[in-house]
Amino acid sequence: MGDIRGMAPLVEVFDMPTSLGFYRDVLGFQVVASSGPGDRAGWVLLRRGGVELMLNTAYDEGQRPAAPDPSRVSAHRDTALFFGCPDVEAAYEYLLSKGLRPDKPSVAPYGMKQLYLLDPDGYNLCFQWPASEESPQRYGSGT
């Protein structure tokens, strides 16, 4: 097999403008390609730093129901996107300032400090970094 250079997961979203409002306007991703102009495109490729993510509408134009299918949304919790985030505490404070209510950061048994929240479609997002690499000044460990 030849060279592989990156990966861009594709997730289906119920409402593209809502998802773009979250990923672009809150998390800071940039739209680098789309299937059409504006926030109503059916597909977009987002990028922030070295991370790429594709969003695709779950329903074609004119086919979307008035509300998301609860069984479909509950299945999204099986999908988790993990982002490398050197300052988990700062991410937590930032998300709170944007009116979101993520879980408080905690250290997993395998040593990763993690911050979890759900996106507008119910996908699990985790912002994490090795707890051993945290800045002692910021977290007060001092040793």
Dump pLDDT digits (tens) for 1-60. 999 888 999 999 999 999 999 999 999 999 999 999 889 999 999 999 999 999 999 998
Q: CB of 120 within 8 A of CB of 13?
A: yes
* CATH fold for domain 7-60: 2,3-Dihydroxybiphenyl 1,2-Dioxygenase; domain 1 (3.10.180)
Average of pLDDT values for 99-117? 96
HSE-up of 32 (CA within 13 Å, CB side)?
Answer: 13
Residue 142: its pLDDT value, please? 36
**How much is the average pLDDT of 78-107?**
95
* pLDDT at residue 135 in the model: 53
- Strands 10-13, 51-57: pairing is parallel
Homologous superfamily (CATH) for 77-136 = 2,3-Dihydroxybiphenyl 1,2-Dioxygenase, domain 1 (3.10.180.10)
- Tell me what the mean pLDDT of segment 62-87 comes to: 89
The residues near 35 (Cβ < 8 Å, ≥ 6 apart) are 41, 42, 43, 44
119 CB burial (10 A radius; 0-12, 13-18, 19+): buried
Where, residue-wise, is CATH 3.10.180.10 in the chain? 7-60, 77-136
Average pLDDT, the chain: 90
Of residues 46 and 65, more confidently modeled: 46
